[in-house]
């Protein structure tokens, strides 16, 4: 299958700082990308998505950046809060298939 | 946003019994539903893909006779773990594809809250 990997398995940030979570994907034909947040014991929650014809999309406190040249996706969380502590993983769509990354565990230090 | 529910959220059963888990898309029609299994601190493992009205497509290594999937309507899919054993204990998560444009595109996957299965 396709590989969607994350550069860092864990990330710790101080409350109030900005967080950046990275994801590398391998298939240049992927046309749609999603970031999910998964809290312990819960199902993944959709955060934000981006199509391949865009390079940036903003949501509430979150921004996704897509660099198709180097096949890199990032999630930026502004003013990180304790409630942001979770595992974040990216997903890419290639054709009719979705492929998920392994996840980065974000810990927010009060 | 699009909501997917699962029932039950937690189940404990004796070895040898069968357990049914329901996955419902509450505010949209899902032509495709997915079933995943997740072990602690690990990523999602796709078990099967089910399309409404047709047989599920199972991933390699997943026993179709053990994990029965039924997708009878555009809003409901069920996973039945037959003759459950302790090694089947896991977190089972479903997702549904679709959802319209309010959050995410038409082809976004929305996940249910998961079902924790413990087989004694």
Give the tens place of pLDDT for each residue, B3-23: 899 999 999 999 999 999 999
Q: How far apart are CA A47 and CA A62, in angstroms?
A: 8
pLDDT confidence of residue B109: 87
Contact status, residue A69 vs residue A90, Cβ threshold 8 Å: no
Confidence of residue A101 (pLDDT cuts 50, 70, 90): confident
Distances, alpha carbon B37 to alpha carbons A22, B44, B57, B79, B91, in Å: 24, 6, 15, 11, 6
Top mean-pLDDT range of A3-7, A34-38, B1-5? A34-38
B:31-70 residues touching chain A, CB 8 A cutoff:
34, 42-44
Q: Mutation target for A interface from B90, B108, B112, B117: give the one with most A CBs within 10 A.
A: B108
Confidence check: pLDDT of B104 > 60: no
- How is residue A41 written in tokens? 């014991």
Task: Tell me what percent of the residues of chain B surpass a pLDDT of 90.
Answer: 67
Average pLDDT of span A21-25: 93
Contact B111 A36 (CB under 8 A): yes
- Average per-residue pLDDT for chain A: 90
Contact A98 B44 (CB under 8 A): no
| Rounded-to-10 torsion of CA A61, A67, A71, A73 | 0
Identify whether B8 is preceded by a cis peptide bond (ω within 30 of 0).
Answer: yes
Q: Please give the radius of gyration of chain B, using alpha carbons only, rounded to the nearest integer.
A: 14
Distance CA A108, CA A23 (A): 19
* Closest-CA distance of chain B to residue A49, Å: 6
CB B28 within 8 Å of CB B74:
no
Question: In whole numbers, what is the pLDDT of chain B averaged over residues?
Answer: 89
C-alpha to C-alpha distance for A90 and A92, rounded to whole angstroms: 7
């Amino acid at each position: 299958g396709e590989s969607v990997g994350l550069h860092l398995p864990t990330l710790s940030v101080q409350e109030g700082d900005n967080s950046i979570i990275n994801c590398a994907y391998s298939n240049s034909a992927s046309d749609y990308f999603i970031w999910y947040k998964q809290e312990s014991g819960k199902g993944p929650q959709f955060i934000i998505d981006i199509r391949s014809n865009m390079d940036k999309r903003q949501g509430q406190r979150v921004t996704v950046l897509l660099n198709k040249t180097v096949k890199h996706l990032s999630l930026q969380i502004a003013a990180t809060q304790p409630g942001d502590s979770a595992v974040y993983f990216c997903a890419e769509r290639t054709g009719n298939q979705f492929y998920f990354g392994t996840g980065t565990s974000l810990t927010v230090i009060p | 946003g699009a909501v997917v529910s699962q029932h039950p959220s937690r189940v404990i059963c004796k070895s040898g019994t069968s357990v049914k888990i329901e996955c419902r898309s509450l505010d949209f029609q899902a032509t495709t539903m997915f079933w995943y299994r997740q072990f602690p601190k690990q990523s999602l493992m796709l078990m099967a893909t089910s399309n409404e009205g047709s047989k599920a497509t199972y991933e390699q290594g997943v026993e179709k006779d053990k994990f029965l999937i039924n997708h009878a309507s555009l809003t409901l899919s069920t996973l039945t773990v037959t003759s459950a054993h302790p090694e089947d204990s896991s977190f089972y998560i479903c997702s549904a594809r679709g959802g319209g444009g309010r959050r995410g595109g038409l082809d976004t996957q929305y996940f249910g809250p998961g079902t924790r299965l413990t087989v004694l």
